[in-house]
Chains A and B, each alone.
Chain A
Amino acid sequence: MTPPVRTPQRSLADQPRYDCRNAYVDTLADLAHTDHRIVGVVNDSIGSSKLDAFKRAFPDRLINVGIAEQDMVGVAAGLANGGRIPFVSAASCFLTARALEQIKADVAYSDRNVKLCGMSPGVAYGELGPTHHSIEDIAWLRAIHNMAIVVPADPVETAAAMRWAAATEGPVFIRVSRMSVPQVYSDDYTFRPGKAVTVRDGDDVTVISNGTVLWRALVAAEQLAADGIEARVVSMPTVKPLDTDAVIAAAAETGGIVTAEEASTVGGLGGAVAETLAQHHPARMRILGVPEFAPTGSAGYLLDRYGMSPEGIADTARTLLTSPRQ
């Protein structure tokens, strides 16, 4: 099967970069035009969510509760009770930390049709520091039952995931990156919830990734190929529910698994993959992510620092292959 990725003439590393928030707002406006139930809910985050045009187009349907995240998520649950489909749009750090109990009780446990859109997650805020980084969001929300978690890798996948979320009843958390990324997927890509996408085939080693790190994993695979190592790159946009079959297949068919994500090394995609491997198919594994309160630095600098430059991911894969088998 042909991977649903673009096959540009130049490496992905040299492609134009896009801010996924633009795809987010364009898609939200498209959805709102065709479905009157869709509303936006923000915590004064109109500018940081790039929702100014949405506000002009739908002034009544962008509800700004002010700087009040607990209220924001409760209000979204109440709007859903009234049949609306709220897309809550707020910096992921504040949305998921400040309103965690509302996310648990009012949205997930109450089974409300609320879409939580965590803007600028991970280390996207770079130099603003760990108060504004949101590396914990996936671990926190992954522990909550009845909460789907999607981490799109590029504008195409961001738009596709939103369309799926709007059409699907139930709680969803979608991360929307502000760190620019190249377009990884072809324009006709179809998002399939809970399914991994093999974006590059290979049998020597597997890199499982998502979000802003996916393109870096693909470039790492190019570098490994130059050394004669064929890396499989598995995109895992849905962290929950996890495509465990794809994880187990990678463990069975390749020499080991490296996970790489713009999130904590605890409890994120790496944690989910490790839980699967430990119980179903023990294999050599390394988890790349952010292991601490990051020091000052841009988002790109921090990803590189934590081994998620293409070279860093490739190095980890090589090291994994030379480590003792389980």
Chain B
Amino acid sequence: MSALATEHVTMPVFGRLDPHAGRADQVAHIAEAARQIRIQDLKLVHYANAGHIGGDLSAADILATLYGAVLNVTPSTVDDPDRDRFFLSKGHVAGILYTTLAAFGFLPVEDLATFLKPLSALNGHPNRRKVPGVEANTGPLGHGLPIAVGHALSAKLDVSRRRTYVLVGDGELQEGSNWEAMMAASHHELDRLTVIVDRNRLQQGATVRETNDLDPLDAKAAAFGFAVVEVNGHDHGELLDVLSSVPFRPGKPTFVIAHTHKGHPISYMSNNAAWHHRVPTLEDLRQALDELGAGTVATNRGSTS
């Protein structure tokens, strides 16, 4: 296997569409970004010979939607105190975060070629001091939601309309710290906080249901004081509509259960626990890229850069 090199990082850079662009154009923009992000991330994991490809791909559409059309943060406002915040609590999918940040111009695409190499800024879990756009150094599970609650409290104290989003894995919700934070979020009426659950129903070696079941997750979140919304986590239109419409209930934080599949949409990976952190072989990679249409010339119609 050849090592990760610059020839393997060829993803186009996507800008943001004009905010007044129509919904169909926005959705198409996000869809193409998500496709390119997946192609790039698969190459990263294959050539770096490490990564968490299953959870990367289940989160790809959520990340592409957030950075492509929802968050009011761009490379030029990455230090603006009043930017929206996104916290990646499931920090082990750093690969898809780096790829997404590169796709939207927060770091040079060629930097992706350093993924996991000695002294690279692109560690197996994200570091905010090394990667522009990263808001917290996550990795241990159950940390992102309390941090997001803290940030949403700061926004409320500032009487700011900035929004706070946090992406958690569903298996991660087995950590009690999340539920501590959810109680505080509803107690403080943090209605500009949105928790997105990457509900892929798989954890490291088995299903969530077999391991320590979360259901009924919707009822639990509602009981903890959240407005609960369920979406298809791979449908860019649904994600765009929901994530840009929060809050749904004044005074209540939002809990978006995004139904996803680990490894989506690669046929042999999708919904298969074996692909939590398995590395695709060259043959696996070729098939995956073929399924994503990577052989065709990318159309970068949304780019404003």
How many A-B contacts at CB < 8 Å in the complex? 108
From A98, which residue of chain B is reached at the shortest CB distance?
A: B177
Determine chain A's interface SS by DSSP, over half rule: helix
> In this assembly, does B153 line the interface, its C-beta being within 8 Å of a C-beta of chain A?
yes
From B128, which residue of chain A is reached at the shortest CB distance?
A: A110
> In this assembly, does B183 line the interface, its C-beta being within 8 Å of a C-beta of chain A?
yes
In chain A, positions 235-278 with a C-beta closer than 8 Å to chain B are none
> In this assembly, does B55 line the interface, its C-beta being within 8 Å of a C-beta of chain A?
no
Number of interface residues, chain B, beta carbon within 8 A: 35
In chain A, positions 30-78 with a C-beta closer than 8 Å to chain B are 39, 60-61, 63, 65-66, 68, 70-71, 73-78
Decide: A68 and B147 in contact? CB cutoff 8 A.
no
Decide: A79 and B140 in contact? CB cutoff 8 A.
no
Residue of B87, B129, B138, B181 with highest tally of chain A CB at under 10 A: B181
Decide: B138 and A78 in contact? CB cutoff 8 A.
no
> In this assembly, does B132 line the interface, its C-beta being within 8 Å of a C-beta of chain A?
no
- A75-B139 contact in complex given A60-B157, A65-B184, C-beta closer than 8 Å: no
Decide: A71 and B149 in contact? CB cutoff 8 A.
yes
Q: How far is the CB of B44 from chain A (nearest CB, A)?
A: 23
From B146, which residue of chain A is reached at the shortest CB distance?
A: A74
Decide: B180 and A78 in contact? CB cutoff 8 A.
no
> In this assembly, does B124 line the interface, its C-beta being within 8 Å of a C-beta of chain A?
no
Number of interface residues, chain A, beta carbon within 8 A: 29
> In this assembly, does A111 line the interface, its C-beta being within 8 Å of a C-beta of chain B?
yes
Q: How far is the CB of A163 from chain B (nearest CB, A)?
A: 22
From B155, which residue of chain A is reached at the shortest CB distance?
A: A82
Chain A residues, Cβ within 8 Å of B188: 63
Binary contact track B118-146/A, C-beta < 8 Å → 1, others 0: 00000000011100000111111011011
- A77-B184 contact in complex given A39-B157, A70-B142, A105-B138, C-beta closer than 8 Å: no
Chain B residues, Cβ within 8 Å of A96: none
Interface residues of B (CB under 8 A from A): 81, 85, 87, 127-129, 135-140, 142-143, 145-155, 157-158, 176-177, 180-181, 183-184, 187-188
Extra 7 A-B pairs, beta carbons < 8 Å, given A61-B157, A79-B150, A83-B154: A68-B180, A70-B176, A78-B154, A82-B153, A105-B138, A109-B127, A110-B137
